[in-house]
Structure 1
Amino acid sequence: MTPSPDDSEIRELSQSGIQFIATYVGSIQIKASLRDMRSTELRLRVVKAAIHAVASKVPKKELEPDRPPTEEDSVASLLVGEGQPLVKNVQVALNVSSKAISMSHADPAQPERNGGLVSRHQLNFISFAGAGDAPHQDLLGYIAKVKDDRRCHVVRLHDVRVSRVMMCVNKAMELNAAKANEKLRPKEVAHTSEPSTGESRGNQPMKNGEDGNSKTWDWSISREVFDSLSRQSWYHGLLTREDAERMLVYVGDFLVRQSSRIPGQVILSGRDGARVQHVLLMDENTGQVRAHDHQFQTVVDLVNYYYVNKQPIHSDDVLIELVRPIPRREIVPEA
């Protein structure tokens, strides 16, 4: 069992980062987004398939050919890009911090290049990481998106277990999220009757100009619904979509809020990758709580259903996995 990082390592991750010597094997495009890969098991299989695809292009002497070949995962392989992997095969210093995963040249045979940046990916744009299967268990792959290019980057660790690096990556992500949440406090914003065109109504996207963008809804949150919501740590009350998006750092982060634009509306906000999705939970005609084709007695029932059963809220345009509820910050009055 890999031990958790101690206090000194946590400080390093929060500051300059922890460094490992590795070989940057290369990268390959990933065709599917995280919302298309709805289970952690499938995501891990895709990373393993990507590692195999990249490693298979490296000269055999680099990857110990006496080991048995990896069994191909045909389902996961369909989500890996069809183009040739970008093979780098360069020795690097792999740095993991609460801000980014970066690689710089660290080859004793080429001292003039050492320290030069090979790649840098902010943690906010790294969606998943995992280790390879035999014969590639010393390889680690992580999926990162730069603009519209989503790739799995593969590194081979020197003199350190993949589980050790994975532990640092996971802790770095926790620290990054905690730091982001620390800086945020909900801001009170006056109600307006103008809906946002970026939110989804019943898991269907709003169209620009729908309802004339000026409809005043004739219902509001009932006292019973409000009381049950107010007891939930993930309910943030009146909160703008901009503040909600800043609080949701990693895939699976979610919260529930009262809309600052639509009086009486309750919204589930969750990150599904590079984007934050917003789903309106109250039917504008009946006031009933629903998501996609499911109807619930209360918002609490809806959240509990998808959170406990680990089922994503999805439709053709929206997929939100409820993995990590973001608690509201309690504001303590000054003495």
Structure 2
Amino acid sequence: MTSMDDDTRWLHSDTDLLSGHGVSYSVTYLGSVEVLCSMKTLDFDSRTRVARDSIRLVCATVGISFKDRRRPEQSPSVTQSMISAEPNLTHSHTPVQLTINTDSLVLKRSSDSQIFYSHKMEGISFASAGEHDTKDYIAYVAKDNMNKRSCHVLSCKENESLDVITTIGQAFELRYNEYMQTQQQQGSIKPFEHDEFLSKKREDDVNRSIPNTNQPTQGKWNGQTSPDVYKEKWFHGKIGRDEAELLLHNSGDFLVRESAKIPGQFILSGRYKDQFKHLLLVDPEGIIRTKDYEFDSIQHLISYHKSGNIPIVSADSELLLQTPVLRSK
């Protein structure tokens, strides 16, 4: 889960990601899988499945094993016609610096700073973090100089994968906005290779029925389609960060509020060991999640962590939900 001010949905200033600059993460490159179809022909779920099955395929090939927690309908056979069965393990297990800016994603070997991949932003069509047991891995689909698509798999530091994906999303959006402004100035709008990279939920995703269970499940959610959260007494509407902190008197106090600037975004504000935390609950893919689990509703997330006395672990601390702060009206 990413911790940030609700004034912005991004982790970095735009200046940090402009061409010539960039934000870097220490990751390990594991390999790639050829993508056999255009990502434009796939819906959002299929794109996500391509990325996450590529993670599992590369990891299995290099000897990294996981307990597969996917539901039966999420069988790898779904993507057999979309990705190659044999991954490319060139540079596998190489520690690298992944530098993200509005121009490209650059993979530079940590030992000698040699660049072995530089993917232009306009050639990147999708990126995703892993799921459950593969949550510390990411994958992104990019075209090479021969116009061939491959899904590249990286291992991130523990609990850092969502930060990496969010940073890629920010760089893409900046690049896309620059592109659209240029096209409009020229009086024409041409297709952008990854014009659905940041696409939100499709209508069938929004209307999907997800069973409510006592354990976290891999569910997708759009805040605008779950009005029940507004009925919860620990929900305080569109109050700001400072106002929320004035309501959090004791360690373990928490409340949920709605972002005034980002439609569909909700923030969990809490106090634990005299520290205030403000955690975004909806990730860039529209999924309600913590670092460890995905949930089918905000109520499910609150209930799971409060009733089980399970702390929410963020990048640099934890938050224990003990006492909901109830709104006065």
> What TM-score comes out, normalization by structure 1 length?
0.51
Letter aligned with residue 119 of structure 1: Y
Task: Answer whether contact 2:31 2:87 (CA < 8 A) is retained.
Answer: no
CA contact (8 A) 1:68 1:134 kept: no
> 1:80-159 alignment to 2 at 5 Å?
80-87=83-90, 88-107=92-111, 114-146=112-144, 147-159=146-158
Amino acid across the alignment from 1:82? A
The 1:42/1:308 distance shift into structure 2, 3 A limit, reads closer
- The answer to which structure has the higher strand fraction is 1
**Which of 56, 61, 79 is matched with 1:52 structurally?**
56
Alignment match, 1:249: 192
Q: 2:123 & 2:69 partners in 1: Cα distance?
A: 29
Contact 1:30 1:80 in 2 (8 A): yes
Taking the aligned partners of 1:308 and 1:103, their CA distance within structure 2 comes to 32
Change (3 A) 1:308 1:25: closer
Q: Distance in 2 between matches of 1:17 and 1:34?
A: 26
- CA 1:250–1:23: 2 relative to 1, 3 Å: same
In 2, distance between residues paired with 1:52 and 1:157?
15
Counterpart CA distance in 2 for 1:308 and 1:137 is 23
**Post-superposition offset of 1:57:** 1.2
Q: Distance in 2 between matches of 1:183 and 1:148?
A: 24
Structure 1 residues 185 and 80: CA distance shift in structure 2, 3 A = closer
Seen in structure 2, the aligned counterparts of structure 1 residues 310 and 105 have a Cα distance that, compared at 3 Å, is same
Q: Does the 8 Å contact 1:21/1:91 carry over to 2?
A: yes
Deviations 1:86-136 (A, max 9, x none): 2511000011111111110114xxxxxx21002010110000011222422
Determine which structure has more spread, i.e. the larger CA radius of gyration: 1
The number of aligned residues is 190
1:80 to partner: Cα distance: 1.1
- Unaligned 5+ segments in structure 2 are 206-329
2:27 is matched with: 22
Cα distance between partner residues in 2 of 1:170 and 1:49: 20
Determine which structure has greater relative contact order: mean sequence separation of CA pairs < 8 Å that are 6+ residues apart, divided by chain length: 2
C-alpha distance in 2, partners of 1:27/1:139?
13
Is contact 1:57–1:85 with CA below 8 Å preserved after alignment?
no
TM-score (norm 2): 0.52
Q: Secondary structure at the match of 1:85?
A: coil
- Alignment RMSD (CA, Å): 2.7
Equivalent residue number for residue 182 of structure 2: 183
Contact 1:131-1:140 within 8 A present in 2 as well: yes
In 2, are the aligned partners of 1:52 and 1:70 still within 8 Å (CA)? no
Distance (whole Å) between structure 2 residues aligned to residue 31 and residue 184 of structure 1 = 30
Letter aligned with residue 76 of structure 1:
T
Identity of aligned residues (%): 21
Q: Which amino acid aligns with 2:169?
A: N
Cα 1:133/1:125, change in 2 over 3 Å: same
Does the 8 A contact of 1:32 with 1:79 survive in 2? yes
Is the 8 Å Cα contact of residues 177 and 250 (structure 1) preserved in structure 2? Answer: no
- SS for the counterpart of 1:244 is coil
Structure 2 residue 177 is the aligned partner of structure 1 residue 172: no
Equivalent residue for 1:78? 81
On the 8 A contact 1:132/1:139 being kept in 2, the answer is: yes
